[in-house]
Structure formats: structure tokens, C-alpha cells
Amino acid sequence: MDRSFCIAPMMAKTDKQFRFLVRQLTKKSILFTEMIHTNSILFGNQNKLLEYSEIENPIVLQLGGNDPISLSKVCLMANKLNYDEINLNLGCPSSKVKSGNFGAALMKQPDLVKDCLIAMQEASSKPISVKIRLGIDDLDINESLDRFVSEVSSTGIKVFYVHARKALLDKLSPKDNREIPPLNYSRVMKLKEDFNDLEIIVNGGIKDYYKEKDNFSTLDGIMIGREAYSYPKKLENVDSIFYKKNDKNNSLISITKNMFDYFETLDKKNEIKRGLIHMHGLYNGLKNARKIRILLSNSSFFKPAKNEIIDLINDNYKNAA
């Protein structure tokens, strides 16, 4: 699987509706589900949590959890589905994650992480990967990180998605942990230099990803999160620049029509509402963007809103001509 360009897993964002939107703009990039805790799958609505459409491939199922048996059971379930990879989250910094002893908190427990990954690999027919931080709390980003990566890779794990920041679980909120700890891309590059047999994909704070592509040429890929969510239209050149695929881009009008047609296939109003919210960033930069966002905010009115939005897009193009 070519991991040159990946869309980061984001809670309440990278659901099936947003992934469908992304696929209108890039066919080749790697998509991730939101992080799903194993207990939610084992004791909840498995079909709803794991469902996706084939248009979304290549796609990675990201799991949260700390119990090897539970992770193994979920991997067995996923064997029946067409996910391309399963990822264990070792980087989420939320207080809920810390209190539940999963996500980034597990970076202090490499032996437990190894048990989890061994169980996952034994159960899964898919490749297993991890998403990590440079470190957490009092763990240094040099020897401690090298030791952690060495121990994890000893289980056979070859793919590491690395957020280029530490996580300060005792001091910062999840939002602040995405912004305040300094980015350290050079440390990620050094990790690749020292573990050149591993695939290392860098994540964190990358905005102008077309311009910065060459800066990360020694790595195996880049992962984009909030920038992709806030400005999805920027993704339209990913396939040509990162994958040398020169397929014709969908127009903004075509994407809008495709999204509204997709909403017709959804059963629940809250699913439609979430999908409409995900579209807000699609129109950033248009003169009529605010009017379009107002129309998108009324999910009970979404069918007639389609034509109004298309008229506003056309109006923007006419005025720009």
C-alpha cells in the first residue's frame, strides 16, 4: 500500500460521510476511520461502527484499546471486511483516553503494547500498524523513543505513523496537545534514519503539503489532519502530485451533486447532518461561502438547498470571470 499521502484519523470528523467527500477529490490517498474503542465494537452496534463503502478503499481501521484479547476479537471481525490495514492508536492525548489507559498513555507500557500487537497480528489477515507521538510527559524524545520503537518493531510491526510532537497528558487538553508542544520534524527524520527498515509517515501541523512534500522526501509519507478537514478542496491535486495520476478533477458542482445524492442513501437525519457539516470547508474562499454554510446548517431543508447552493457556486464563477 502506497502511504505517500494519508488523511489522519480525527474524532467526530473522519466518519463515512467525510470519507465519501474526500473520495470525490482523491482516489489514491489513504483514509482512516475515527478511532473506535474495542469495547464499542464488541458490546455495541458492530455493523454501524465498522461499515464503510468500497469507494473508500484504501482505508485503515483505527482501534483504541489495551486488552490483547479484545483487540484480537475485533481483528477477527475485521477479517470479514475489506479494510486494507488495522492501526492501533498509541497517540491520542485526551483525558478519557488517559483514564482508560489506552492511546498515548500506552507509550509508557511497551510490554503491554507488544502483547496487544502480537495478539492483533496473530488474529488479523490485514497488516497491523501503529500511530504514536514522539513521547509523553516525562519520556524524552531521544533514547525513550528509540527504545519504544525498537521494542514495538520487534513484534513485526513495520509501519509507524508519527505525530511530530510530545503529548503532555498531565498538563494539556487534547486541543492544546495538537498545538502547544513544539513540532519536531527533524526527530521524525532521524527516526527513519535510525530505523530505515520501517515505514515512517509524519503527521502534525503540515499545511502547505504540496510545497512541503520535498522536505519530507526521506520519509515514506505524510499524514494530514485538520488542514484536510478545513480545506478539503485542496486535496484535488493529491493524486497527480503524490501518485502521478492525472485523472480529471471533479468540479465543485459535481462534488456538491454527488454529496447530496449520497445523502439520499443515508437512513438517519443525524448522519445527513454530520455530512452537511463536513461540507462547510469545501466552499472556503468562495464569495458566497457564508450563504452556502447557512444552507448546509439546516439539515431538514437539505434537498431544496442543493439547487440553491449550485446557483451560488455558479454565481461565484460568473463574478470571477
Selected catalytic residue, list 6, 75, 92, 116? 92
* CA dist list (Å): 152 to 9, 146, 186, 216, 246: 21, 10, 21, 23, 38
* CA distances, 46 to each of 39, 76, 125, 268 (Å): 10, 13, 19, 17
Give the model's pLDDT for residue 193: 98
Structure confidence at residue 98 as a pLDDT band (50, 70, 90): low
Quickly state the pLDDT bin for 178 (edges 50, 70, 90): confident
75 is catalytic: no
Distance CA 306, CA 227 (A): 25
Enumerate helices (H) and strands (E) in the chain, giving the number of each. Answer: 16, 9
User: Which pLDDT band, with edges at 50, 70 and 90, does 250 fall under?
Assistant: very high
Going from N- to C-terminal start, the domains of the chain cover: 5-243, 252-320
Whole-number average pLDDT of the chain: 93
pLDDT at 319: 61
Q: Which of 60, 108, 109 is nearest to 88 (CA)?
A: 60
Model confidence at 302, pLDDT cuts 50, 70, 90, reads: confident
Query: d(Cα 167, Cα 135) in Å, to the nearest integer?
Result: 6
Query: Measured between alpha carbons, how far is 48 from 31 in angstroms, rounded to an integer?
Result: 18
CATH number of 5-243: 3.20.20.70
**Per-residue pLDDT at 142:** 94
pLDDT at res. 99: 66
142-156 per-position pLDDT tens digit: 999 999 999 999 999
Would you state the pLDDT for residue 51? 86
Burial class (CB in 10 A: 0-12, 13-18, 19+), 192: buried
Q: pLDDT over 90 for what percent of the chain?
A: 80
Specify the pLDDT at position 198.
99
